[in-house]
Structure 1
């Protein structure tokens, strides 16, 4: 095996995804370990290093068959310094992640925000198709994103480019967001928001089949809302109409600023496919400039959970210069 491989690491609040990836973007092996958040995540880097070493031994890979590590983490990061200002759902504050990783593994390491890495991964090996101008939107527990302009991932003045979930969607009577603002896009268009709206509809006494779903399962998911809407449940459809309205306007405004050729929609909510994409495109077209709209193709992300580790490997490939 050639000696130009990379290690991709995608740190999440529940699991850490890891992969050995070739120079050309083929996954040699992928696995995950639990994210140990005890002690404000003090053992996470040690766990990652031990897991990498164990997997290399298991697969008979030598240390020098890998060039370096790309790593993604949630929260606000300084990519130049490899520094995490705050990753609330892990417990890190003012943490020099890449220095710690290098000390534990012996590899050079490069850091990026996890949503940005998903955009890089999709653009390298997935639905982005190596576009020079791309907006990636991740609809999951929250709403994240990444923007590529002139072939480069954008970071801005202090690393907060594409915090799409915290664009203001509702200027009045908006829900509180964990960022401290109210009415953020995340509070109306995430999987969490969809579920919250479903419970609100039931509590308001609306006639809806979601009530039966709740009785049977003792919980409601965003998937349930999409499925019930497809069956004709009006309350479910109204929830999705609101989601698509605010999301479509937000993406249209972003597109007017960025002028992308491709808009990639990922995350768990994107599994709804055309049920989401077709009405979203309609709202987008109504609110974007005609020339902006003509240039932009909407696609569903194709890499799933592999986007982050592939983006991490691509980051390491770019930064190592090898």
Structure 2
């Protein structure tokens, strides 16, 4: 399987419970390739050095969460040049119309236009790079969210088109719906997903937040004017969000998490305590890795070496099928 994550800022509880912990489980189940997709991050203008610093911070936290370089291949995308190489090939077998129909492009274009107005060509063609990311490792399964199925279908279409023109080269991947992680909502706006783009950080629990900060944010979490503690997303989104978080942090269902809790104040305290306990070993490991950043870099270098070997084999196959003149 292949999965990537952009270095777009500090990890929060939604990232952890929604996908990061699932990566840790997947590395024990299958041949897993994970990647910090820093080339994708370049589609939006960044200050010099910003992406590198964000990539190192993200990698540090993912290792702290539990990614093991002995169990998975984990690396920074730009350190394996075959990603950019195959991305160009994928652009030649991807239609303009296919790219223009990508829902995420329409959304991100709107965001860019509402900002500085600059919409890069890379923002338009990034699904071709995403296809390259997937195909370079003979990926059979790609875990996707609700908004990413389109990209896997485009990857399958482009790979199938290449195979038809030049002979069997690529494995056609399948989109898989991962086992549902907790859907963590904003503590101040519980009908919206927890996101770094929120208007206020009061509703976001960052993995780096102190126990005192975590407790304060949960105590101020929005609930409702009723008094009964029950899991009912439609009618009690705030309470249901707290129960989802409490359940995920303690290995229970939201319904089971509600057992024995009668007051909202008690629910907030219990949820805060569970999250503090969940994050404590992660924060301790982050501190160790930040004290020795060489360990993170060594582990990433190992991932780059292993990824490059696999990607080079696939690119040799691609160039052989294309029949271009090689040295």
Report the TM-score when normalising by structure 1.
0.28
Larger radius of gyration: 2
Structure 1 or 2: more helix by fraction = 2
